[in-house]
């Protein structure tokens, strides 16, 4: 079993829909990261959080340390949000452990 | 502002040939540096990290090696490439451990 599990693996939605991507982890962590990978491969860090909730524009990330679970929400989704969203956890001093990613497609 | 560069962007190499991928960071001092690989259809995997010049930690035993000859330069090398070395290689930096990491544009390596 992977230490970081994401669901769903693939998600297709219509423009404007509310999107939720889930991440569960089974190890002790110091932080959890949400990353966005565009088709060309480039990766952008969206959030790093260790408790509670963070919001950037239409993106919201939450984490529940007791349940070892995080969610990434996208409100009013847009085709430009189409990308692979990756959950990663900082395990130990340096190591990032990654989920397999969720491929999101938003249709106009 | 900080910038991270990687080159080349794409590379096609025959099996058994050497490899050198370079990553440089601008606008920060003494960053933590990381090399990741994303094999086709698989998730990202940490290969090496460095907390300072000449200090390299390896996460996965393999035929790759890393070096940090200067504070803001990180090099990934191989003496003889294998087919299984194909993938997307990403360099990243952070201010310190367990902090947000910033990724370079990546190098897509195809070993034929």
Q: Average pLDDT of chain A?
A: 93
CA dihedral B110, B19, B57, B93 (to 10 degrees): -70
Suggest the residue from A25, A41, A84 to mutate for an interface test with chain B (most B CBs closer than 10 A).
A41
Cross-chain Cβ contact A99/B97 below 8 Å: no
DSSP category for residue B43: -
Residue in chain B lying closest to A98 (CA): B44
A78 in reach of chain B (CB within 8 A): no
Residue A74 binned pLDDT confidence (cut-offs 50, 70, 90): very high
Q: Give CA–CA dist B107/B112, Å, rounded.
A: 16
pLDDT in tens, chain B (112 residues): 879 999 999 999 999 999 999 999 999 989 999 999 998 878 899 999 999 999 999 887 678 999 999 999 999 999 999 999 999 999 999 987 667 888 999 999 999 9
> Which is more confident, B46 or A15?
A15
């Amino acid at each position: 079993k992977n230490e970081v599990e994401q669901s769903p693996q693939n998600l297709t939605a219509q423009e404007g829909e509310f999107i939720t991507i889930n991440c569960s982890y089974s190890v002790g962590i110091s932080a959890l990261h949400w990353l966005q990978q565009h088709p060309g491969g480039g990766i952008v860090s969206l959030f790093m959080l260790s408790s509670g909730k963070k919001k950037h524009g239409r993106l919201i990330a939450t984490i529940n340390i007791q349940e070892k679970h995080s969610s990434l929400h996208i409100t009013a989704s847009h085709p430009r949000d189409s990308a692979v969203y990756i959950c990663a956890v900082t395990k130990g001093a340096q190591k990032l452990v990654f989920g397999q990613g969720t491929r999101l497609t938003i249709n106009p | 502002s900080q910038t991270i560069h990687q080159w080349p962007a794409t590379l096609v190499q025959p099996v058994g040939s050497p490899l050198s991928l370079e990553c440089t960071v601008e606008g920060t001092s003494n960053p933590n540096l990381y090399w990741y690989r994303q094999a086709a259809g698989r998730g990202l995997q940490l290969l090496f990290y460095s907390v300072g010049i000449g200090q390299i930690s390896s996460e996965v035993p393999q035929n790759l090696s890393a070096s940090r000859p200067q504070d803001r330069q990180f090099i990934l090398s191989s003496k003889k490439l294998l087919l299984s070395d194909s993938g997307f290689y990403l360099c990243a930096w952070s201010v310190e451990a367990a902090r947000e990491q910033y990724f370079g544009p990546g190098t897509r390596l195809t070993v034929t």
